[in-house]
């Protein structure tokens, strides 16, 4: 595998292009003029101290919060201004910082929700259970089973989501997002609250996913965890990007250290 620098030089194709995005809440500037480009196949880490604007940035990409200024393009198509469900249908899937599963649904059904955008059957088709309706349901079930096997939940498919352990719930959230067959996967602190073994497992899973071609944007509070996954890290502080580069470069960056230590830079 060529190193990051050569890739950048050879291919400046961009999957997600964030241009001059800002977000204000009343007088408060949560995000100021962000420019971020995510390339296909990349695993980009987004770190920063509490309240830096990481989750706001996520919510803006996913459409849960509208931008105040600037624009976002996915594969050259503008997605800023679209509703969250439209953005999801275009191929951006996310997980939530505080797990948001559909508690009363089974593990398999949760993952099938991720397949929602692939269903086409009409009401007529559903009521008369046409071949097509059956076929697409079966296809999605097949995909869902595969995804669940991949995250290691194959033996828990029939359980209600709420009965899973914390770590498994995190995995299920990722599986649900994967079922959407996203171009870009947004992971919001997926390792929060996990013990070291769980963290290691999940980290391995994310790396595998990225190796198989999935573009990932990962928020993590814990710098160490990101470093093992991402080749490129962005540091957000007070709504601004204060560093962008390889993990090692970022770790050595003076402003970043100041930000994490609480000094204003």
Partner 1 sequence: MDILLQFFINALMLGAIYALAAVAYTLVYGILEMINFAFGELFMFGAFLVVSFMLPQVSLFGVMVPMPGLPFLLAAPLAILFVAAMGYLIERCAYRPLRFAPRLAPLITAIAVSVALQNLAQSVWGAQELSYPSFFLLEAKPIQIGGAYISMVEIAVIVTAAVVMTALHFYVKKTRMGRAMRAAAQDVEAAALMGIPVNRVIAMAFIIGSGLAALAGIFYGAVYLFAHPHMGFMPGLKAMVAAVLGGIGNIRGAMLGGIVLGFAETFGAAYLPNGSAYRDAIAFGILILLLLFRPQGLLGTRLPNRLADRGAMAFKGSASAIDAGLARLSAFFAGRDLVRYASWGVLAVVAVSVFFIFPSPYWARVFVFVLIYALLASGLNIVVGFAGLLDLGFVAFWAVGSYFTSILFVEVLAKGYGVDMSSVWWLFYVNLLLGGGLAALFGMMLGYPTLRLRGDYLAIMTLGFGEIIRLVATNWVDLTRGPMGIRGIPVPSLFGYKLGSPVQLYLLGLVLLALAVFLIALMVRSYLGRAWVAIREDEAAAEAMGINTARYKLYAYSAGGFFGGVTGVFFAHSQQYISPLSFTLFENILILMLIVLGGMGTLAGPIIGAAIWVVFLEVARDMPFIQQHHELRFMALGILLVVLMIFRPQGLLGQKRQPLMMS
Judged by CB under 8 A, which of 7, 121, 207, 223 binds partner 1? 121
Cα dihedral across residues 74, 182, 235, 6: positive or negative: negative
Q: Shortest gap between Cβ of 77 and partner 1 (angstroms)?
A: 16
Looking from the CA of 37 toward its CB, the CA atoms found within 13 Å total 8
Judged by CB under 8 A, which of 11, 77, 103, 208 binds partner 1? 103
Instruction: Write out the binding residues for partner 1, residues 123-142 only, by CB under 8 A.
Output: 123, 126-127, 129, 133-134, 137, 141
Tell me: does residue 117 bind partner 1 (CB under 8 A). yes
Tell me: does residue 143 bind partner 1 (CB under 8 A). no
Instruction: Please provide the DSSP assignment of the chain as one string.
Output: ---HHHHHHH----SEEEEEEEEEETTEEEEEEEEEEE-TT-EEEEE-STTSSHHHHHHHHHTSS--SEEEEEETTEE-TTS-HHHHHHHTEEE--SS----TTSBHHHHHHHHTGGG----HHHHHTT-HHHHHHHHHHHHHHHHHHHHHT-GGGTTSBGGGS-HHHHHHHHHHHHHHT--SEEEEESTTTT--HHHHHHHHHHHHHHHHTT-EEEEE-S-HHHHHHH-SEEEEEETTEEEEEE-HHHHHH-HHHHHHHHT---
Using CB under 8 A as the binding criterion, the count of chain residues that bind partner 1 stands at: 41
Judged by CB under 8 A, which of 7, 29, 64, 207 binds partner 1? 64
- For residues 4 and 89, which CB has a smaller minimum distance to partner 1 in the complex? 89
Tell me: does residue 219 bind partner 1 (CB under 8 A). no
Tell me: does residue 106 bind partner 1 (CB under 8 A). yes
Q: Which stretch binds partner 1 (CB under 8 A): 4-12, 113-121, 219-227, 241-249?
A: 113-121
Tell me: does residue 84 bind partner 1 (CB under 8 A). yes
- For residues 119 and 260, which CB has a smaller minimum distance to partner 1 in the complex? 119
Q: Shortest gap between Cβ of 227 and partner 1 (angstroms)?
A: 27
Tell me: does residue 155 bind partner 1 (CB under 8 A). no
Q: Which residues of the chain form contacts with partner 1 (CB under 8 A)?
A: 62, 64, 83-86, 88-89, 93-94, 96, 100-106, 108-109, 112-117, 119, 121, 123, 126-127, 129, 133-134, 137, 141, 160, 162, 176-177, 180
């Amino acid at each position: 595998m060529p190193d990051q620098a050569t890739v950048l030089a050879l291919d400046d194709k961009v999957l997600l292009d964030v241009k001059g995005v800002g977000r204000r809440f009343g007088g408060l500037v949560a995000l100021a003029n962000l420019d971020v480009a995510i390339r296909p196949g990349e695993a980009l880490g987004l770190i920063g101290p509490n309240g830096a604007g990481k989750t706001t940035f996520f919510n803006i990409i996913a459409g849960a919060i509208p931008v105040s200024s600037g624009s976002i393009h996915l594969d050259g198509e503008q997605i800023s201004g679209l509703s969250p469900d439209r953005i999801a249908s275009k191929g951006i899937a996310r997980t939530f910082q505080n797990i948001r599963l559909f508690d009363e649904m089974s593990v398999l059904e949760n993952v099938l929700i991720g397949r929602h955008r692939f269903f086409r059957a009409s009401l007529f088709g559903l009521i008369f259970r046409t071949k097509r309706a059956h076929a697409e349901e079966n296809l999605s079930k097949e995909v869902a089973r595969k995804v669940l096997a991949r995250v290691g939940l194959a033996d828990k498919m029939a359980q209600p989501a709420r009965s899973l352990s914390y770590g498994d719930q995190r995995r299920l959230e990722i599986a649900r997002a994967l079922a959407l067959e996203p171009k870009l996967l947004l992971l919001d602190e997926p390792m929060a609250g996990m013990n070291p073994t769980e963290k290691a497992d999940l980290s391995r899973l994310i790396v595998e996913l990225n190796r198989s071609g999935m573009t990932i944007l990962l928020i993590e509070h814990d710098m160490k965890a990101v470093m093992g996954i991402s080749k490129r890290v962005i540091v957000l502080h007070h709504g601004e990007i204060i560093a962008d580069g390889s993990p090692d470069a970022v770790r050595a960056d003076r402003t970043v250290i100041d930000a994490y230590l609480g000094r204003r830079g």
